[in-house]
């Protein structure tokens, strides 16, 4: 790994962070993971060293930056459950906004000027249906989204005051898994739609609850834009390259540009895996906007970023093995072999 340009990756042991580390490695960088392992996994840290510490530990961050000769940071370490943020707002502000302050101070302390930040479409709140552009007003409707918007504001102010340059990547719904099987989605507890639905389809848990069927969407269920985690990871590497080449501070959507309702997602799982998703109708979940779909144009213009694996069926095909499901064609072959 000698000679590789080191990038600090806070939250590098988590779902998106670990895929970003792999993408960094493939692009010739050395990812240095900084993670307290509260939700991440040691065995997901495969492409560089691990510094086990909390992102709110500013002295620890500064020490890691100095000891690894870091010039740029990707910041993923945060709490990321909308529902939990409604129940534990102070914790979200402490971890997410507090973590950002700590990281900015460590960057100012050590002279690091480039930050790629894991922001979210949750900063837009509940915009009118249609594709969301970056100039859509940001009006988050839950503490998670507000904590991410606070981080963007901090970055903007510190960019103006101190010459930091940042790329705030507002992602839509990250899903899927590394196509080569090196990494997968493992949250504990799991709260995200596609993994829960695949677990229900494979019989690893009971029926999926569909939260809310009276939204103003085509079938009454919430609509989301799912982006493959490997595409997302590649977008982060392009943002590192963009800042390294002198790009100015920016905020960009990372999404596929296509929305799918919950019922459409359940049907896609059935069609890809051959297994229906047992489900029951349930009340709305607090904090959920009806519809979030990206306009991905600015990221393409700025970074040359285009999704490659973010068709919903491709996302499901790549994730299925980690949930004990096979894509339908493989499932048929297995059945034939057994006969």
Under the binding rule (CB under 6 A), the answer on residue 224 touching ligand UDP is yes
Applying CB under 6 A, the span of 33-41, 71-79, 187-195, 297-305 interacting with ligand UDP comes to 187-195
Q: Residue 166 Cβ, how far from ligand UDP at the closest point, in Å? A: 22
Under the binding rule (CB under 6 A), the answer on residue 222 touching ligand UDP is yes
Q: Residue 29 Cβ, how far from ligand UDP at the closest point, in Å? A: 28
Q: Give the separation between CA 198 and CA 209, rounded to whole angstroms.
A: 13
**What is the Cα 205 distance to its own chain's centre?**
24
Q: Give the separation between CA 144 and CA 92, rounded to whole angstroms.
A: 6
Under the binding rule (CB under 6 A), the answer on residue 208 touching ligand UDP is yes
The token pair that represents 163 in the structure block: 């010459």
Q: Residue 196 Cβ, how far from ligand UDP at the closest point, in Å? A: 5
Under the binding rule (CB under 6 A), the answer on residue 22 touching ligand UDP is no
Residues 291-310, mask of contacts with ligand UDP (x by CB under 6 A): --------------------
The single residue among 132, 288, 294, 316 that binds ligand UDP, judged by CB under 6 A, is 288
Site for ligand UDP in 228-287 (CB under 6 A): 262, 285
The single residue among 105, 126, 191, 202 that binds ligand UDP, judged by CB under 6 A, is 191
* Other CB atoms within 10 A of residue 19 CB: 28
Measured from the CB atom, is 156 or 270 closer to ligand UDP? 270
Given a contact cutoff of 8 angstroms between Cβ atoms, the answer to whether 18 and 42 are in contact is: no
3-class secondary-structure state, position 70: coil
Q: Residue 238 Cβ, how far from ligand UDP at the closest point, in Å? A: 23
3-class secondary-structure state, position 35: strand
Which residue in this structure is represented by tokens 């695949």?
198
Total number of residues binding ligand UDP (CB under 6 A)?
A: 15
Under the binding rule (CB under 6 A), the answer on residue 213 touching ligand UDP is no
Measured from the CB atom, is 20 or 227 closer to ligand UDP? 227
Q: What share of the chain is helix, strand, coil (3-state, %, to 5)?
A: 45, 20, 40
Applying CB under 6 A, the span of 62-70, 94-102, 189-197, 307-315 interacting with ligand UDP comes to 189-197
* Other CB atoms within 10 A of residue 67 CB: 12
The single residue among 196, 201, 294, 315 that binds ligand UDP, judged by CB under 6 A, is 196
Could you tell me which residues come within 8 angstroms of residue 111 by beta carbon, excluding any fewer than 6 positions away? none
Site for ligand UDP in 143-182 (CB under 6 A): 173
Measured from the CB atom, is 141 or 244 closer to ligand UDP? 141
- What are the catalytic residues? 144
167: which DSSP letter?
E
Residues 77-96, mask of contacts with ligand UDP (x by CB under 6 A): -----x--------------
Measured from the CB atom, is 107 or 151 closer to ligand UDP? 151
Interstrand relation of 165-171 and 226-228 (parallel, antiparallel or unpaired)? unpaired
Q: Calculate Rg over the CA atoms of the chain.
A: 20
Applying CB under 6 A, the span of 31-39, 155-163, 190-198, 244-252 interacting with ligand UDP comes to 190-198
Which residue in this structure is represented by tokens 């491709």?
314
The single residue among 126, 202, 209, 213 that binds ligand UDP, judged by CB under 6 A, is 209
Residues in the chain, overall count: 339
Phi-psi region of 220 (alpha: psi -120 to 50; beta: other; left: phi over 0): left
DSSP string over 174-221: EE---TTSS-----SS---HHHHHHHHHTTSSSPEEEE-S-SSSSSSS
List interacting residues with ligand UDP (CB under 6 A).
82, 173, 191-193, 196, 208-211, 222, 224, 262, 285, 288
């Amino acid at each position: 790994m000698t000679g590789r340009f080191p990038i600090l990756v806070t939250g590098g042991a988590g779902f998106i962070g670990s895929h970003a580390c792999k993408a960094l490695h493939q692009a010739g960088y050395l990812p240095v993971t900084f993670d307290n392992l509260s939700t991440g996994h040691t065995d997901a840290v495969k492409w560089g060293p691990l510094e086990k510490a909390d992102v709110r530990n500013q002295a620890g961050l500064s020490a890691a930056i100095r000891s690894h000769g870091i010039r740029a940071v990707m910041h993923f370490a945060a709490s990321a459950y909308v529902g939990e943020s409604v129940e534990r707002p102070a914790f979200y502000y402490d971890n997410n906004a507090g973590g950002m302050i700590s990281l900015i101070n460590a960057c100012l302390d050590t002279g690091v000027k480039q930050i790629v930040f894991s922001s979210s479409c949750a900063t837009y709140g509940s915009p009118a249906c249609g594709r969301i552009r970056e100039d859509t007003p940001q009006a988050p409707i839950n503490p998670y989204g507000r904590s991410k918007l606070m981080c963007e504001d901090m970055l903007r102010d510190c960019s103006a005051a101190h010459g930091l340059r940042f790329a705030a990547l507002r992602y839509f719904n990250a899903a899927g898994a590394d196509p080569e099987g090196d990494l997968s989605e493992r949250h504990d507890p799991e709260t995200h739609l596609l993994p829960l639905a695949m677990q229900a389809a494979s019989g690893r848990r009971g029926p999926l609850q569909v939260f809310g069927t009276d939204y103003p969407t085509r079938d009454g269920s919430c609509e989301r834009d799912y982006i493959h985690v490997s595409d997302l990871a590649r977008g982060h590497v392009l943002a590192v390259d963009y800042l390294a080449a002198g790009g100015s501070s920016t905020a960009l959507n990372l999404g596929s540009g296509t929305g799918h309702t919950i019922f459409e997602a359940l049907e896609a799982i059935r069609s890809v895996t051959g297994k229906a998703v047992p489900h029951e109708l349930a009340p709305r979940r607090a904090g959920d906007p009806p519809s979030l779909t990206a306009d991905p144009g600015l990221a393409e213009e700025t970074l040359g970023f285009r999704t490659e694996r973010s068709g919903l069926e491709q996302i499901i095909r790549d994730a299925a093995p980690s949930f004990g499901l096979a894509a339908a064609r493989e499932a048929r072959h297995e059945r034939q072999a057994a006969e």
